[in-house]
Structure 1
């Protein structure tokens, strides 16, 4: 069955030379070969301010530069997030993007009395692809992958996205060509199966 897939590139550097960009391109190529529809959002090129108050988040207007991103999230059946681990978490730009787009009335009802009754993004699945300089097993087992768990539970799960799977890719500082080819191949296969 063909799916509508949204790739959300969360690397804050818009230059295309990063591993996150190569992984997203591989996923996109695999998905296209399998006949899936694919759209992509590049957070680094979007123009939006950081939210500074609860009132602004609840009642302020969505920045015009993010309307297409919200439309694409609404359209998608499956989302794939790509980002490097920075200071143990997602880059601040990606977090700011998620705060802006996941507003009351879109990601969940704006009803203060029953905020969890209906989750606005139910029926969608996701994958989180994270690159990091440390070994992925160290991050997963010693650091317990807290930031990825928080994204999966406190952001995506909170608005109804499930299941959410993750792919952690470690030791990316100066990877060997063979390792990069392996990761790219794995992401292309995931794209084919819309996993």
Structure 2
């Protein structure tokens, strides 16, 4: 049972399908008894550039400190974002670049290529939207945006299991299709809370 859920909307625009999906998920999860914290990328103000890589640390802005605190607090993460140019939005990537640092998300061994995963014990749901059909993303892009978040970010830090929900094409979706996607997000929000409580 997931009692503490951190919902992060990774769309830089305030009004978006990602936000609608987050609203549906959050409402259902809270209705099922979970405690939910939420942050929206559109309300986060920070420098997204990791100028010196890991060689010199920038002071984290308050919103990034809060984002990290919420990530550590949660036992279940929910990331919702659009696929742009085969990946996540640049500002969303900036949060990860600045926040998923050694000592927080992972710790590299002094010798060799291995690392410790520091976010183990957490699961995640990923909701990704796109104007491209889902099958096109699989065939042409080889699920690059999904792999980026699933494998090179969350799995790398020890977050598992993961489940990804991919919705598209958004630009040609009729209202009833949008409603079906919102219903699916709500159903998942309820399920993640109640699945182990039965």
Q: Distance in 2 between matches of 1:79 and 1:7?
A: 6
Structure 2 residue 58 is the aligned partner of structure 1 residue 63: no
Equivalence for 1:6: 6
Shift of 1:111: 5.2
Cα RMSD of the aligned pairs, angstroms, is 1.8
Equivalence for 1:194: 192
Q: Distance in 1 between matches of 2:93 and 2:52?
A: 15
More displaced stretch, 64-73 vs 46-55: 46-55
Gaps of 5+ in 2: 194-198
More displaced stretch, 178-187 vs 135-144: 135-144
1:7 is paired with a residue whose SS is strand
Shift of 1:100: 1.1
Tell me the TM-score normalized by structure 1. Answer: 0.91
Large movers: runs of 4+ above 3 Å? 110-117
Aligned residue pairs total 192
Q: Distance in 2 between matches of 1:114 and 1:36?
A: 41
Alignment of 1:18-97 (within 5 A): 18-49=16-47, 50-55=49-54, 59-97=57-95
Q: Distance in 2 between matches of 1:137 and 1:3?
A: 34
Q: Contact 1:74–1:121 at 8 Å: present in 2 too?
A: yes
Equivalence for 1:178: 176
Q: Distance in 2 between matches of 1:35 and 1:95?
A: 31
Shift of 1:115: 7.1
Shift of 1:117: 4.2
Shift of 1:131: 0.6
